[in-house]
Structure 1
Amino acid sequence: MTDNATENLKKYTYIIAGGGMSGLSLAYYLAESKIPFERILIIDQGTEAPKTWCYWSDETQPFEAYAEHAWKNLSVHTFANQQLDLPIEPFVYRKIESSTWTKAIKEKLHNNPKFEFIQASIESFQYQGKFTQVLTSKGVFEATEKIFDSISPYPCDLTNTKELKQHFVGLFIETNFPLFDASKATLFDFRIAFTNACEFMYVLPTSARTALFEHTFFSSTLLEEAEYMKQIKAYLFAYHGLSDDDYEIKGTEKGIIPMNYVEIKQNLHQKIVKIGTAGGFVKSSTGYSFKRTQELLKNLVLHLESNQWNANVISQTKFKVLLDRIFIQVLVDQQVKGSTVFEKLFQKNSAQHMLRFLDEKTSFWEDLRMMTTVPTWPFMKAFFKIVIKRSTFSH
């Protein structure tokens, strides 16, 4: 393992562009695989701000040991102040701190002599004969098989009021006295949802005195950071009786996740394969990415092992994609409050069914039944709008 740059062209079997969650996850699965490779280079562009990744699962997952906390009970607060208690077993909802996970995965890879890390800015990708190259601030590096690109931007215009984004600011706080029930996480608290935008508070208590409070929107228009902070502090006072003197802010996080649907068709014949957000790995209708990324990358590596070059990087049924697009269109149009949509879904369906639905593990008939539990007219209008768009573009 070396971090020394070289002026000479260096060749690798695979190059992973980007040392974030998707890049390191892929490296981990490649290291665990039976794929023959000489060397793999991971090009890290620099330290990322710490992030929180959450996922639910009813099966054993490879990175459970790195979870900071786990919950078997969730709750949803409606705008009308009804609390829905949602026991989710056999599912478990887990929270992973990116810094803990990243350190552990890097340590594993550093112990493998076939992996090399460099820190450099990536300028471009190019083809050189039948090989591909990465041009960086520390020279040119060549992949004899593939480059996995996790750094290219996902096509989302942050200024476009027709493109949905999940945007949020979170505060990690520690109170001066025991207050929280660490056995239950609040997935949605819609008591703050006074507009038709899908606005809610997301609360993850990890002990009696520590919790993450995240003010989140699924909407097309972003806010100033100070506005999110103001709303979190107002929420802490209104619903937990906490004034500024009652707690200490231990950390913050913020993010913007694209929720517009863009079809990114890729198979393993390609020499440059986009992964992570760049490859459309984030589920467009929810913004969840950690577990979905793991499943997609495990499948990608299995296909490489068995030389299934025609395999799609993302395989989705057309009906699942249509449901995602309809849901996004409803949230963009705001003909009904976003909070109302989620409230109806959780009021009329079991938590387990909802989690399976969001994981795209439900059948066609289960999906149809689920659609009968949402406000009918806004979803019908969104459906026809999508059909008209498709018809227009196809001509």
Structure 2
Amino acid sequence: MPRPDVDIAILGGGCAGLSVAVRLAAAGRSLRVIEPRETYCEDRTWSFWRTARDPFEDCVRTSWTTWDVTGPTGTVRRASRDLRYQTVGAGAFYDRAQALIDDTHGAELCSGTAAHDVHETPHGWRIDTDAGQLSAGHVIDTRPPRRVPGYGQFFLGREIRTERPVFDPGVVQLMQFRPARSAGVDFVYILPYARDLALVEVTSFAPRSPGRNVFEAWLQEEIDLLETGRHEVLREEHGALPMQVGFHDPSPDGCIRMGLGGGAARPSTGYAFTRIQRQADLVARALDQGHDVPAALDGPFSRFMDRVFLQVIQTVPDRGPALFESLFRNTASDRLERFLSGSIHPADRLSVMTSLPVLPFLRAALVPA
């Protein structure tokens, strides 16, 4: 029987592809990551509440113990003695992943190469790439989704250095809700790295993006309101994350789908980094032990809760700011943050459920859209 070129071919070298690659490389599996980008840059940040260890803890840029949400009735400030809200810069993440792959025999990152057709053969898989054909025992497809979700998180952000010290570096402003500029729920998000340095981002939870022109004008207005004096734009990031229960890109039977196209973004929030790390753990463990890869990150009850919450904010988006404020105001300390990070503990779920008004969620639960 012909021996494949590698045990595992990983299509896409973004967050999901590199996360699973470093775990499989550490387990001694031969692999190749096929990535169309020739070089990496500081193109985004990933933020999350730290609830578990991962190989990229050295890449954390900043941690916070306090965060705010500002809704219709005022600002809710939450703090934690145990949890840290952390941000990982893409540049440090990419450098760390490439170093771990380069230091492992049998693991290779092929940048500047795109994967095209994928075919199952009697002896594994054949992948057509810009550099020729590659054979592998397993294929993990982490490329961006090819289909458009019915609802998503859309954002534009700029990291700025300001003339005046206008930021509080001890408090993340998670959500400052604004009058809607999209067909959904709109807010401003600020990650303060120092008194004169922050990522300022405008975000829409909506069925479609309001468009680049709307985002640029809105973001500039928000920066002007900060009264920064002169400011320097250090970098920009933008993106779209699926917020849809059960969102998966179609893939051939037996091909493992990971990342945003494999349901890694939390349907009700768009949080993805922690879920990608969990997904990478599950996939690497299953391949190492010869088990089937779990089909989904979430169980039925988690999917039900996400579906109900999304249905309410899609049906009555003008109530979205009040609902998010209620979540952060009424849920017990740490329980909401653990739930948003993937906790399925009954006490965390119950605390979240009882923090919200009953009627709209009961209606959504009984009458799915």
TM-score, scaled relative to structure 2: 0.90
**Separation of aligned partners in 2, 1:86 and 1:61:** 25
Structure 1 residue 192: deviation in Å? 4.8
Among residues 1, 26, 33, which one is paired with 1:42 in the alignment? 33
Is the partner of 1:374 in helix, strand or coil?
coil
| 1:260 is the counterpart of 2:244 | yes
What does 1:107-118 correspond to in 2, within 5 Å?
107-118=99-110
Among residues 172, 187, 210, which one is paired with 1:200 in the alignment? 187
Worse overlay, 335-344 or 322-331: 335-344
* Amino acid aligned to 2:239: G
**Separation of aligned partners in 1, 2:280 and 2:71:** 36
Among residues 231, 234, 245, which one is paired with 1:250 in the alignment? 234
**Separation of aligned partners in 1, 2:287 and 2:100:** 22
Structure 1 residue 241: deviation in Å? 2.3
Contact persistence 1:132–1:142 (CA under 8 A): yes
Contact persistence 1:335–1:378 (CA under 8 A): no
Query: How much is the aligned-residue C-alpha RMSD, in angstroms?
Result: 2.5
* Aligned match of 1:319: 301
Identity, in percent, stands at 23
Give CA-to-partner distance per residue, 1:295-341, whole Å, 9 cap, x none: 121122222333323x5143432111100111111121126521111
**Separation of aligned partners in 2, 1:336 and 1:111:** 52
**Separation of aligned partners in 2, 1:334 and 1:273:** 36
Among residues 68, 87, 91, which one is paired with 1:95 in the alignment? 87
Structure 1 residue 175: deviation in Å? 0.4
**Separation of aligned partners in 2, 1:27 and 1:360:** 23
Contact persistence 2:145–2:249 (CA under 8 A): no
Worse overlay, 221-230 or 357-366: 357-366
What does 1:283-302 correspond to in 2, within 5 Å?
283-302=266-285
* Amino acid aligned to 1:205: P
**Separation of aligned partners in 2, 1:129 and 1:30:** 24
| 1:241 is the counterpart of 2:227 | yes
Contact persistence 1:79–1:193 (CA under 8 A): no
Structure 1 residue 376: deviation in Å? 2.5
Contact persistence 2:67–2:78 (CA under 8 A): yes
Among residues 12, 28, 46, which one is paired with 1:18 in the alignment? 12
TM-score, scaled relative to structure 1: 0.85
**Separation of aligned partners in 2, 1:323 and 1:62:** 30
**Runs (5+) with no aligned partner, structure 2:** none
Aligned residues: 363
Structure 1 residue 182: deviation in Å? 1.1
**Separation of aligned partners in 1, 2:260 and 2:26:** 23
Worse overlay, 185-194 or 283-292: 185-194
| 1:140 is the counterpart of 2:133 | yes
Structure 1 residue 152: deviation in Å? 5.5
Larger Rg: 1
Is the partner of 1:324 in helix, strand or coil?
helix
Is the partner of 1:234 in helix, strand or coil?
helix
Q: What stretches of structure 1 move > 6 A for 4+ residues in a row?
A: none
* Aligned match of 2:364: 382
Contact persistence 1:265–1:312 (CA under 8 A): no
**Runs (5+) with no aligned partner, structure 1:** 1-8, 158-162, 390-395
**Separation of aligned partners in 1, 2:320 and 2:58:** 35
Is the partner of 1:378 in helix, strand or coil?
helix
Structure 1 residue 265: deviation in Å? 11
Contact persistence 1:40–1:114 (CA under 8 A): yes
Structure 1 residue 53: deviation in Å? 0.6
Structure 1 residue 196: deviation in Å? 7.7
Give CA-to-partner distance per residue, 1:161-218, whole Å, 9 cap, x none: xx21100100111101322221111111125558883211000010111000100011
**Separation of aligned partners in 2, 1:265 and 1:234:** 36
Contact persistence 1:40–1:116 (CA under 8 A): yes
Among residues 188, 192, 204, which one is paired with 2:175 in the alignment? 188
Structure 1 residue 25: deviation in Å? 0.7
| 1:343 is the counterpart of 2:325 | yes
Among residues 138, 142, 156, which one is paired with 1:169 in the alignment? 156
* Aligned match of 1:6: none
Among residues 106, 120, 123, which one is paired with 2:98 in the alignment? 106
Structure 1 residue 278: deviation in Å? 1.8
Give CA-to-partner distance per residue, 1:96-126, whole Å, 9 cap, x none: 1112210121022112221123231211100
**Separation of aligned partners in 1, 2:46 and 2:202:** 16
Among residues 217, 224, 235, which one is paired with 2:204 in the alignment? 217
291 and 154 in structure 1: CA distance in 2 versus 1, 3 angstrom threshold: farther
Structure 1 residue 28: deviation in Å? 0.6
333 and 255 in structure 1: CA distance in 2 versus 1, 3 angstrom threshold: same
**Separation of aligned partners in 2, 1:58 and 1:275:** 21
138 and 10 in structure 1: CA distance in 2 versus 1, 3 angstrom threshold: farther
**Separation of aligned partners in 2, 1:366 and 1:137:** 48
